[in-house]
Structure 1
Amino acid sequence: MGLNVKKQRPVNLDLQTIQFPVTAIASILHRVSGVITFVAVGILLWLLGISLYSQEGFLQAAAIMNSFFVKFIFWGILTALAYHICGGIRHLLMDFGCIEENLATGIRSAQVAFVLTVVLSILAGVLLW
């Protein structure tokens, strides 16, 4: 005999009014960057396969990479990979006990991961263009 108890919880489905903490944003972006990196592996392997097939294939891959749109996508892939690596190192340092697992340290390490990603993203842009 289960009691039908109605729970009085506030329901807020307007995501624009919710302010996520930095640690939540870091976690969500780490997952998104992992998915982007996973999908990008297929694209990059396809491009590598074309370039290694023959000399004409290499020239075709080089021509594909000369497009601004493709360079922009490649820059996005490199940025996602950089963030995923920074976030992964952050998690490994916490798992091994090198970084304390408290709110202040979590916020600071997330901010460091963001800053490192921006620096690596700018570096990737300089190298691509």
Structure 2
Amino acid sequence: MRKERPKNLDLSTVKFPITAIASILHRVSGIIVFIALAIFLILLNCSLSSAEDFQRVQGYLDMFIVEFIFWGALTGLAYHAVFGIRHMIQDLGHWEELDSASLSAKVGFGITVVLSILAGILVW
């Protein structure tokens, strides 16, 4: 016999816990870091090919959109590093309870905000 279960496909009505948000954003930040690495390697390759290309890449670095991409990449890297350390600590058996996991996620978000501000100061 087939039971009809209610279906809720509207994710905007679902309230995710902070630990789920942290885990999802950790995966997203990994993708951002991977894409940023490709961009940085392309710029490095271009800058090493000739003196004219080096000057051209240096000119790119003065553009706001490129600075914003650098800031976003550094923020993604900071987030991925902070929450990667958090995940490794959880793998060791710590911060597995809901209260301590929520607290460690909040602390991780705070550390990431501080590192993001520092990255903004570094870039601009």
CA distance in 2, matches of 1:100, 1:44: 35
Specify the code of the residue in structure 2 equivalent to 1:103: L
SS in 2 for 1:16: helix
Structure with the greater alpha carbon radius of gyration = 1
Deviation at 1:31, TM superposition (A): 0.5
CA distance in 2, matches of 1:79, 1:7: 47
The alignment status of 1:58 with 2:54, answered yes or no, reads yes
Q: Which runs of 5+ in 2 are unaligned?
A: none
Higher helix share: 2
Q: Which runs of 5+ in 1 are unaligned?
A: none
CA distance in 1, matches of 2:3, 2:71: 48
Deviation at 1:6, TM superposition (A): 1.9
Q: TM-score, normalised by structure 1?
A: 0.90
SS in 2 for 1:59: helix
Please show how residues 1-129 of structure 1 align to structure 2 within 5 Å.
5-97=1-93, 99-129=94-124
RMSD of the TM alignment (CA)?
A: 1.2
CA distance in 1, matches of 2:12, 2:22: 18
Deviation at 1:93, TM superposition (A): 1.2
Deviations 1:31-71 (CA, angstroms, capped at 9, x unpaired):
00011111111111001112222222221111111100111
CA distance in 1, matches of 2:61, 2:2: 59
